[in-house]
Structure 1
Amino acid sequence: MSRLFAAAFALAALAAPLAHAGDYKLGALTVRQPWSRPAQAGMNGVGFFTVVNAGKTPVTLQRVESPAAAKVEIHQSAMANGVMTMRRQDAGVVVPAGGQVAFAPGGYHLMLLSLKAAQGVGQKVPVTLIFDNGRKAQVELTVQLAPPPGGQASPMGEHHH
């Protein structure tokens, strides 16, 4: 039994650093687990990730650009009286100091409008996150069918307005 435990522990130790291999650092900000769903050319795609702000001041994600789409918009979905609504976030999204905001199904997300090419599973979709302090983060969304393990299955409790 102890060999099995040792093997499981060794595997977990090896897998732990890999869990965040796709993270992107930009100063005090970390963009974690960026991903997208498959979509056809000409259709709209989506982008999901979590932005963590380890800094002492709030930062606003103001806009997003991508060569893969005609336009990228920041949206927020919300449930109100049993109806799902989606609104553009033209003022951006504030990531509080010492906090995080999840871009996940059912909450904040990117809309990649009029995709220029199909997005297939395993492909990477380049996006540029543009923050209010002028910094830009070059991020690649990994196209996959479901959220990353331990990822953003639900945005509830992580929204900050």
Structure 2
Amino acid sequence: MKTSTTTALVLSVGLLLTGCAQGAPEATPSAKPAQGAQHQTQAQALTATDTWAKAAESGMSAAFGTLHNNSETPLELHKVSNAAGDEIQLHEMTGSGQDMSMKQLEGDLVIAPGADVVLAPGGNHLMFMDLKKPLVAAQSTTLDLEFSDGSSTEVDFAIRNFDGAKENYDEHAGH
């Protein structure tokens, strides 16, 4: 009798566990978090590399680098500022060759999911419009990148001498 009671108990526990397991979903490595489970801001999803700014005593200058989106949703860079209070605009290049000119980007700079946006001389860049203090080579400047969700992150840009990228403004861009 003792053996049949033990056997019945083991079978009951086994059936109970099997019944509980039937309704549980299987976990897979490709499973994604439930919508809303990821609380990452746009700023937290950004990786900035190879960042640098052109040295300048006054007037205009520019900042460059690579901005990478580590998330599965677009990042929308809305505004760039610094502690000096410089006006810093998002600029794009238009035209080619001698007809190359720059103008302020209309709207946000969008970085696609998993993609890079390269800010480079002769291409998209961050433009200092009227420096309040010099950008001195061998030092660095910190820019605050603000995104459309209201999040922001500070990024350091090494300052170096650069004699290229002598583009012109688009006469119709309002500058």
TM-score norm. by structure 1 comes to 0.69
Task: Give, in whole Å, the separation in 2 of the partners of 1:135 and 1:90.
Answer: 20
* Residue pair 1:78, 1:106 contacting (<8 A) in 2 also: no
Task: Considering fraction of residues, name the structure with more helix.
Answer: 2
Contact 2:55-2:161 at 8 Å conserved across structures: yes
Q: Is the 8 A contact 2:51 2:156 kept in 1?
A: yes
Counterpart for residue 157 of structure 2: 141
In structure 2, which of residues 43, 51, 62 is the aligned counterpart of residue 46 of structure 1? 62
Q: Where do 5+ consecutive residues of structure 2 fail to align?
A: 1-42, 163-175
Trace 1:7-156 onto structure 2 (pairs within 5 A). Answer: 26-41=43-58, 43-80=59-96, 82-145=98-161
Instruction: Give the superposition deviation at 1:145.
Output: 2.6
Deviation of residue 126 (structure 1)? 1.7
CA contact (8 A) 1:36 1:143 kept: yes
How far is the alpha carbon of 1:69 from its aligned partner?
4.8
Distance 2:127 2:94 in 1: 15
Q: Point out where structure 1 has 5 or more consecutive residues left out of the alignment.
A: 1-25, 147-161
Matched residue SS, 1:27: helix
**Greater strand content:** 1
- Deviation of 1:67 after TM superposition, in Å, equals 2.5
Partner Cα separation in structure 2 for residue 84 and residue 120 of structure 1:
27
CA distance, structure 2, for counterparts of residue 28 and residue 136 of structure 1: 11
8 Å CA contact 1:40, 1:119 repeated in 2: yes
Q: Kindly name which structure, 1 or 2, has the bigger radius of gyration based on alpha carbons.
A: 2
Q: Kindly report the root-mean-square deviation, in angstroms, between the aligned alpha carbons of the 2 structures.
A: 1.9
**How much does 1:130 deviate?**
0.6
Distance between the aligned counterparts of 2:85 and 2:138, measured in 1?
18
2:33 matched residue in structure 1: none
- Say whether the 8 Å CA contact 2:44–2:153 is kept in structure 1: no
**Count of matched residue pairs:** 121
Hey, which bits of structure 1, 4+ residues long, moved more than 6 A? Answer: none
Q: Percent identity?
A: 28
